Each structure stands twice: as C-alpha cells, then as structure tokens.
Structure 1
Amino acid sequence: MIRKLTEIDRKPLMALLIKEPALNLFLIGDVENFGFEQEFMELWGEFDPVDFHIKAVLLRFYKSYLPYAEGPFDVEGFAALLRKDKDVEMISGSSEIVKAFGRIMSFRKEKHLYFAELKEMNAEIYSGLSAPGTIKKATISEVNAICALTDGIQEFESSSEGSRKSLHQTLVSGTGRTYYVECQGEVVATASTAAENSMSAMVIAVATHQAYREQGLATRVVVQLCADLLAEGRSLCLFYDNPRAGAIYKRLGFQDIGAWSMMYF
C-alpha cells in the first residue's frame, strides 16, 4: 500500500532513513528542515502488508523526485505518481533504485556519479592546507560575488538567476553554508554545503576561477568546510564523476560508498 505521508509518520520514516544516513541525506534534511506540510514538497510511503512499517519512500521536491527503498518495492506504484505530474523534470537517487524506474519509464537523458562520504579528515592534509584567516564564510551580501564565479564554470548547469535564488534561499534557511577565498575584491574559489541535517551535509559547488587554478585554493576551502562540519559531529558527502577530482577528495579522507543516478524526463 502506498499513501501520502504526514507528520504522524515521522518516526517510522526516520527509522527507515537512518539505516543508510549518507545515501538518505537529502530525504533526512528535507524532513528535518521542512516537515510534511509544504507546497513544494510531498512524501509518499509504501507500507509493508504484514507489519505496516514503511519499506520505501518517494520524495517530491519542487519538480524533482527522489526514491529510497530498503529492498524490493512497488516501482510501478511510485511510477504512477510520477506520470500524474505533468511538470516533473527528473528523478535521482541510489543508482540501483533509480534504474528500476528506467526499466518501465522513458527518459531523454541520464547521468551517473560516484557517491563518496567523509567521516574523518586526513590529519596530514588538514594541517598542511588549512590557512586560518584567508577563508571566509559567506552571508547573503556575498551571493552575487560568489555566483559571478560559479556562473562562469561550464560544468555548472544552473542559470544565473537560478543560482542566485538557490544560494540566497540556502543561506537564509540555514540548510547550507558557503566558504570562499577572495583576491583583489573578487571571489576566486568557493565551496558550499546543501541539505544540512543533524547527521550530515552535502558538499556542492566547488569552483575555482580559471586564472587561479593549480594553486590548491578550492582544496583549502573544502578542507576548512569539512573540518568545521566534522567538528559539529556531522559527516560529509559529495558526488563526483571526474576521476581526477575523486583522487583529490580521497586524499582528504572521502571514501566511495555507492553510485548515484539522475534521470531526466
């Protein structure tokens, strides 16, 4: 049985999600930060017919969907919800789960990434790269300056207006933070978190200005960002598809824990 979830389902839902807290970072963060009664967000759960515990969940966050299941689940039942949404743009999640939708639905494009987690920083890297006083924490006043950098990064897909709106909302809501390095009044390196929750956070938007690359600036920012989150008792997660970038993250202490897929309608 699949039905829409409400506040009364919080405890059994979290019991499911914390079984794999890293992979469920977005789900946990959205429930903790926004609850169940939001126009831009909905949650459905599939209940086990024997003991009625939640065995699978589907999140809608604006025009994107994210499924999670601890084992076999009603793919067709969740797919029916997606088909009813005329505005749906994508579905993402653990590759094993998302690929189940790919067998019964058509997509125009798909992207697959490595998923890595950091629980403990490489102490040698941290002591060698940290530079107290040179890395700043952004406020909403720095949104335009930071986005002026990220808008020029080809790998980033968000529009100029969309990136500013997203960063502003994240900083205001406290669901993420951004650190940056400035040179001659210009932001030249930055890294952010998103989906911060009580257990973890996602590292995103790591970028360096073209003229300042090969100096380790982005690595310094990521190191400081991760060190601060770890000191708060949270783990860090990130996606990557570039083996060179993956090697850098692994030097910091990140370890691959799975694969992540995004399927675009």
Structure 2
Amino acid sequence: MIRELNEKDLDQCLLFVKEKPAENLFIIGDVEAFGFNEEFQDLWADVDPTGKFKAVMLRYRENYIIYAPGEYDAAGFAALIARDKQPGKMISGIAGIVNQLLAHMPIQPVKSKELFYAKCEALQEMNVPDVEIKQAAVEDVPKIIKLYSQIPEFDKQDDRADGLIRNMEEGVSRCYYIEDGNQMVSSAMTTAENSMSAMVIGVCTLDAYKKKGYATACMMRLCAELLEEGKYLCLFYNNPEAGTIYKKLGFEDIGKWVMHTY
C-alpha cells in the first residue's frame, strides 16, 4: 500500500533511506532540510501489511526520486507521478529501481540521461603535488564562476553564483582549490551535504595546468575532510578516464544513475 508521509513518519523514513546513505543522498538531504510540510515537497512510501517500508519516493518541485531495495508497487508510484501535470517532470534514481517504474508510465520520456554513480567510504592515498590548497569562502565565488566558465564540459548557468553563495552559507557546499597568483586554476566541491553523505562536483582544472595532479590534490583534501566527519562521498561521471582517477582515490561504482524528463 502506498501512503503519503508526514512528520510522524520522520524517524522511520530516515532509518529506511539511511541504510544506503550514498544512494539516498538527495532524499536524506531534502528530508533533513525541508521535512514534510513544504508545498514544494512530498514523500510517499510503499508499506507492507506490518508497516515496514518497501520503497520511498520524494517529490522536490518537479523532480521525483525513488528508492527501493527490492520489488515495490511501481504501478502505484507511476500513477502518482502521472497525476502531476506540471511540465518538465523528472524521474531520477538508480537505473534498476527506476526502470521498474518506467514500464508503468503512460507516456515516454522526452529526454533521458544516464551516468555512472560512484561512492567512497575510505580514501586511498595517492602522491599529489606539494601545493597550497585553500578552502573557498563566499567572497571567492566570483573566482569559482570564472574558473567554471573556462571549462567546456560545464553547463553555463546564469544563476550559478547565487546558488553557490546560498549553498555555502547554508553549509551544504564546500570547495577546495589551487590558485596561481590570484587565478583559481583547479577545484573540487561538494553539494547536497547532509548528516550522512555529500555529492562531489566541480572537479576541474584549466587546460594549461592539467597533468600536474592538481584536481587529485583538491579531491583528496575534500574527501579526507568529509570522511573524517563520518560522511560518505558520492559522485556522477560519464568519462571513463575520470572514472579511473576516482577509483584510484577509493570510489566504487554503485551502478547507473538515470534521469528521465517528461
């Protein structure tokens, strides 16, 4: 049976999703940050006759994320999503979980994307250059934006600066970087930090400074700090070369993460 969750379900919901803190990074973060009483967020669970959770689905604005360790009422969740008529709906999650639901959706997605999803529970030491690595403050955001604007793989976002400032002030993002003079040349950042896990993003180096181990050094500093705090790390990647570097640091593939837009 699928039912909508409320504040009374907080402990059971978090206990269920925290069994897999990397896989459920976004659900944990949004539940901890916004709870059950915001109009832009809803949560449902597939519950067995004994009251045990079989699956949880989060709606954050137009984004749906589903988690289930086994079989669940995919048709029931698909019906809930189909009733939402807002445009640009996205269904995300581990491929094997989401695929059960897609078979019951009444229409096909207009766009789909698939990425490797990896997590790190213990860091593997690597030789890195002896350079100064700094932690960014809010006043460094313009330098971060300038660095990102020079990385072809990164999407251009007009409101990125506002988002970075907000996330850093709220404590859900942190960034480590290397600079040459007053120019930021390499960085690694987190987003969606919660009590259990964090997403690594923004791993990059300017072309003129590549092959020096700068990005690896930033990653090691960032990952070591978060692991020391008891947090799991996770990241997306679609470049096998980048995946090789991440695995040397201690990341392991969880599976594929899919995003389907309707």
Q: Same fold (TM over 0.5)?
A: yes
Letter matched to residue 213 of structure 2: G
How big is the shift at 1:161? 1.9
Q: Which residue of 2 is the match for residue 70 of structure 1? A: 69
Q: Secondary structure at the match of 1:160?
A: coil
1:175 aligned residue (161, 172, 175): 172
Aligned residue number for residue 39 of structure 2: 39
- Provide the rounded CA distance (Å) in 2 between the counterparts of 1:30 and 1:246: 27
Contact kept, 8 Å, 1:26 with 1:195, in 2: the verdict is yes
1:153 maps onto 2:155 in alignment? no
Tell me which amino acid in the other structure corresponds to 1:75. A
Instruction: Report the alpha carbon displacement of residue 130 of structure 1 after superposing the two structures with TM.
Output: 6.3
Q: Is structure 2 residue 112 aligned with structure 1 residue 110? A: yes
Contact 1:200 1:235 in 2 (8 A): yes
Query: Which residue of structure 1 aligns with residue 2 of structure 2?
Result: 2
CA distance in 2 between partners of 1:130 and 1:152 (Å): 23
Cα distance between partner residues in 2 of 1:214 and 1:77:
50
Structure 1 counterpart of 2:61, one-letter code: Y
| CA displacement at 1:252 relative to structure 2 | 0.9
Q: Are 2:62 and 2:86, in contact at CA under 8 Å, matched by a contact in 1? A: no
RMSD: 1.8
Identity %: 43
Contact 2:129/2:213 (CA < 8 Å) preserved in 1? no
Please list, as runs of the form range in 1=range in 2, the aligned pairs for 1:55-134 lying within 5 A after superposition: 55-83=54-82, 84-105=84-105, 106-123=108-125, 125=126, 128-129=127-128, 131=130, 134=132
Q: Which residue of 2 aligns with 1:262?
A: 259
C-alpha contact (below 8 Å) 1:130/1:223 kept by paired residues: no
Q: Is the partner of 2:221 in helix, strand or coil?
A: helix
**CA–CA distance in structure 2, aligned partners of residues 24 and 70 of structure 1:** 11
Length, aligned pairs only: 259
CA offsets per residue over residues 141-182 of structure 1, 9 Å max, x none?
A: 11122012223323223x432322321221121112111122
Q: SS of 1:166's equivalent?
A: helix
Q: Tell whether the 8 Å contact from 2:41 to 2:59 is kept in structure 1 after alignment.
A: yes
Which residue is 1:137 aligned to?
Answer: 135
After the TM superposition, list the runs of 4 or more consecutive aligned residues in structure 1 that deviate by more than 6 angstroms: none
- Unaligned stretches of 5+ in structure 2? none
Matching of residues 5-24 of structure 1 within 5 Å: 5-24=5-24
